[in-house]
Amino acid sequence: MLKYANPTLFLGLVSRVWPWLAGLSALALAIGLWGAFFSAPPDYQQGQTVRIMYIHVPAAWLSMFCYAAMTASALGTLVWRHPLADAAQKAAAPIGAVFTFICLVTGSLWGKPMWGTWWVWDARLTSVLILFVIYLGLIALWRTIEDPSRAARAAAILTLVGVVNLPIIKFSVDWWNTLHQPASVFRLGGPTIAPSMLWPLLVMALAFTLIFTTLHLLATRNEILRRRVRRLSIQAAAAGHAPEAPAHRLTPTRVSS
Amino acid sequence: MSEIHWAFILASYLICFGLVAALIASIVIDHRRLQRELTRLGAADRTRATDEVA
């Protein structure tokens, strides 16, 4: 693991691994979608609408998994000062925000026909909305602070503060009387879902996790390249050979004092 | 009623995979732009090194 603290080695690893991960993601997604639409039966209460669960639940799990990974990266930044930790954390935030948004929207689209409403200020829904706002706050923080090392420290601290929301999301359905149903897969007594519905759900969760891993590796690679561009821009400016203005402004081209 | 449910299901899947596709596209476009910038800056860097030697 420490070997890949070297950005060059990490870039080499990403180049070798990502095509395999992308292929595995596509395969798992194809099997999961086949299971969700052609193998799993309709629910006896929800009817066909239960098929929304096969994207809603994996997106919800992944929104929390992504934040947990960002928390590990935040510790890597603050405690071990791992050179890739803040790049990995910065790269994960937009992906986590997208999956949290998917979770909220698909939950709302499921809620309208099942509950008769798009949204309720239920503990589970509200805590996931707070998670989405934290993701947006982290993205905004990185864009606001120009010095990357200061931005990384501030984002790592905010991430560690925000991690308190993860157990609240997980146990909100047990701690409060919520409209959202309680856990039916990861619970002490074992899953309460029928195996014919459980396996497509788990395969879709695997597919989403593989998609996340692939996208995260590629986004971290972009972050490393962005830092190289920044360093070369500063060197060129310092040497008085400022290159022509790029067609699209790169985010961290300015140097803070 | 069943058609309405399928509309909600279709909307959910379209939004989900549309957003994931947009995310993939943004990462790929960003990567190409960064590679172009690196090539341009790398060329400028080599020119500077040549000037300094001269």
Give pLDDT tens digits for B2-53: 677 889 999 999 999 999 999 999 999 999 999 999 998 876 656 555 555 4
- Tell me what pLDDT residue A57 has: 95
- Tell me what pLDDT residue A224 has: 92
The domain locations on chain A are 12-178+192-231
- Tell me what pLDDT residue B52 has: 52
Q: Contact A112/B31, CB-based, under 8 Å? A: no
Check if A219 contacts B (Cβ < 8 Å). Answer: yes
Tell me the average pLDDT of chain B: 83
ipTM of this predicted structure = 0.85
Q: Contact B24/A239, CB-based, under 8 Å? A: no
**CATH code of domain A12-178+192-231:** 1.20.120
Q: Contact A95/B23, CB-based, under 8 Å? A: yes
The set of residues, in sequence order, having a beta carbon less than 8 Å from that of A89 and lying 6+ positions away, is A70, A73, A74, A76, A77, A152, A155, A156, A159
Residues of chain B with Cβ-Cβ distance to A216 below 8 Å are none
Phi and psi for B30 in degrees, rounded to 5? -60, -40
Check if B30 contacts A (Cβ < 8 Å). Answer: yes
Interfacial A residues in 36-65 facing B (CB < 8 Å): 47-49, 51-52, 55-56, 59
The total of other beta-carbon atoms located within 10 Å of residue A222's CB is: 23
Helix A165-175 to helix A53-75 angle (10° resolution) is 140
- Tell me what pLDDT residue A35 has: 93
Contact A217, A14 (CB under 8 A): yes
Q: Give the C-alpha separation, A93 to A139, whole Å.
A: 7
- Tell me what pLDDT residue A257 has: 33
Q: Give the C-alpha separation, A118 to B35, whole Å.
A: 43
Q: Give the C-alpha separation, A98 to A102, whole Å.
A: 6
Q: What is the mean pLDDT of each successive set of 10 residues along chain A, which is 257 residues long? A: 73 92 96 93 85 95 95 92 88 96 95 90 94 96 89 93 94 85 74 86 96 96 92 84 51 40
